[in-house]
Amino acid sequence: MKLTRALWAAIFCALYSQTAVAGWTLYRFEGRDYVSLDDIAAFYGFPKPAPVNGPPASSGGPAAPPATPARTRASVATEFGLALRDIADPDAKPIALDSGTMQLEVTPGLRETRVNGVKQWLAFPVHQDGNKILVSRLDLSKVIEPRLRPELIEGFQPVSTVVLDPGHGGHDNGAPSRYGYEKDFALDVALRTRKVLEAQHYKVVMTRTSDVFIPLEQRAAVANHLAGSIFISIHFNSSGSNLDARGFEIFSMAPRGAPATNDTLPRERDLRMEPGNASELQSSALAGSVYHSLLGQVPMEDRGLKYARFAVLRVCSVPAVLVECGFMSNNAESALIGTVVWREHVAEAIADGVDSYKLLAERKQRPKVIADYRRSPAK
């Protein structure tokens, strides 16, 4: 069934109508609700954002804002009336908020933001209407709130088992480099992570311990059949078009109704309730815990916390993440990946992130962020 623009908007609003906050002004744009950065700052105890310049704001409070000026946004119309691609005004400046304990930085026209010192990708671009900076309500409820206050997420389960999933295997080599294949490095990092976690008395289950191919659905099924488990899939990245691409990134399940980070437009499938959506907030918290540990302890480029519907995330009904531990296609990073010392360092950081998540899930202890790791003495 093809969704019309009106039907898509109605379904989207129904999905997220429960996230309204009393006293907040809601703004309508492209069929979605938005909230102002001023309201967000006041709610979380940030100082009031500095004024921004822009064309006169639309009148009527929560009435639908006008379209963003063409020089600020380049959009391609779809049958859903949603933007496919957004380009920030070259003059747009990041707006940084800092309460002393939490940080948030947004840039008009971009999905890319920063929360507590690391890059975070929103579902929809930050919108500017005159002197108002607006963030989609979905992003506030599903991305920003869980990042700023993960200890308030409900539905955590005690962590009894960690399932480590080395990507690829057997006939599926993954990405190549002059130093070896992705499948072998992923297995090595997973085995090293297992050793660290078992020394800390975690129960660890591997989806594979040798060079064999395991179908994606079977990988997720391992975790689904273990009560109190979390799932971490370990991969390495590659780019055939940009040999300079580098850094870490991590994925968790995209919220229902939101496009995946790497998608340029929302799709009808984004409205489906997948098994992974049942624990999407816990998965996001796991991603944050592991990613802050990685960046805080291993000096790599920050490509961000992202959302996807990869099979292992979509099918996994327990908290699940997929981590990309650097680029095989980048000469400098592939050389690092090829060293035992570096892979051991990555494994230790993943294990520390698991420990941080466990404390969050079981004691509601706020996970360490990148600044905490960088203040700590080196091991």
Query: Do 279 and 320 share a structural domain?
Result: yes
pLDDT class of 58 with cuts at 50, 70, 90: very low
Query: Do 64 and 202 share a structural domain?
Result: no
Number of domains forming the structure of the chain: 2
Nearest to 291 by CA among 262, 345, 249: 249
Query: Do 234 and 184 share a structural domain?
Result: yes
Nearest to 85 by CA among 73, 72, 96: 73
The distance in angstroms from the start CA to the end CA of the chain is 56
Query: Do 205 and 91 share a structural domain?
Result: no
pLDDT, residue 15, reads: 45
Which of 114, 144, 174 is the C-terminal boundary of a domain? 144
Beta bridge partners of 230: 162
Query: Do 317 and 239 share a structural domain?
Result: yes
Query: How far is 354 from 361, CA to CA, in rounded Å?
Result: 10
Query: Do 236 and 134 share a structural domain?
Result: no
pLDDT, residue 87, reads: 57
Helices and strands in the chain: count of H runs, count of E runs: 11, 16
In this structure, of 4-18, 95-109, 154-168, the range with the lowest mean pLDDT score is 4-18
For residue 24, give the DSSP letter: P
Query: Is residue 280 within 8 Å of residue 252, measured between CB atoms?
Result: yes
Phi and psi based region of residue 170 (left: phi greater than 0; alpha: psi -120 to 50; beta: remaining): left
Residue with tokens 């310049």: 53
CATH number at residue 242: 3.40.630.40
Instruction: Report if residue 251 sits inside a domain.
Output: yes
Instruction: Report if residue 46 sits inside a domain.
Output: yes
Instruction: Report if residue 135 sits inside a domain.
Output: yes
Which of 119, 144, 169 is the C-terminal boundary of a domain? 144
Instruction: Report if residue 370 sits inside a domain.
Output: yes
Query: Is residue 218 within 8 Å of residue 165, measured between CB atoms?
Result: no
pLDDT at 18 over 60: no
Which of 84, 116, 144 is the C-terminal boundary of a domain? 144
Query: Do 315 and 231 share a structural domain?
Result: yes
pLDDT digits 0-9 by tens, 293-302: 999 999 999 9
* Domain that includes residue 116, residue range: 5-144
Q: Which residues contact 341 (CB under 8 A, 6 or more apart)?
A: none
pLDDT at 1 over 70: no
Helices of type H across the chain: 5-16, 37-44, 137-139, 145-148, 182-199, 216-224, 280-297, 311-315, 331-337, 340-363, 370-375
pLDDT, residue 20, reads: 45
The three-class DSSP label of residue 122 is coil
pLDDT digits 0-9 by tens, 348-360: 999 999 999 999 9
pLDDT at 313 over 90: yes
More confident residue, 162 or 14: 162
Query: Do 23 and 106 share a structural domain?
Result: yes
Query: Do 198 and 135 share a structural domain?
Result: no
Query: Do 211 and 311 share a structural domain?
Result: yes
Query: How far is 169 from 182, CA to CA, in rounded Å?
Result: 9
pLDDT class of 19 with cuts at 50, 70, 90: very low
Instruction: Report if residue 152 sits inside a domain.
Output: no
Query: Do 356 and 318 share a structural domain?
Result: yes
Instruction: Report if residue 224 sits inside a domain.
Output: yes
pLDDT at 21 over 60: no
Instruction: Report if residue 170 sits inside a domain.
Output: yes
pLDDT digits 0-9 by tens, 246-263: 999 999 999 999 999 999
pLDDT at 70 over 70: no
pLDDT, residue 171, reads: 98
Q: Count other Cβ atoms within 10 Å, centred on residue 329.
A: 21
Six-digit token string for 129: 């209407």
Nearest to 182 by CA among 166, 199, 193: 166
Query: Do 344 and 212 share a structural domain?
Result: yes
Range among 1-5, 76-80, 243-247 rated most confident: 243-247
Instruction: Report if residue 155 sits inside a domain.
Output: no
Nearest to 270 by CA among 6, 58, 15: 15
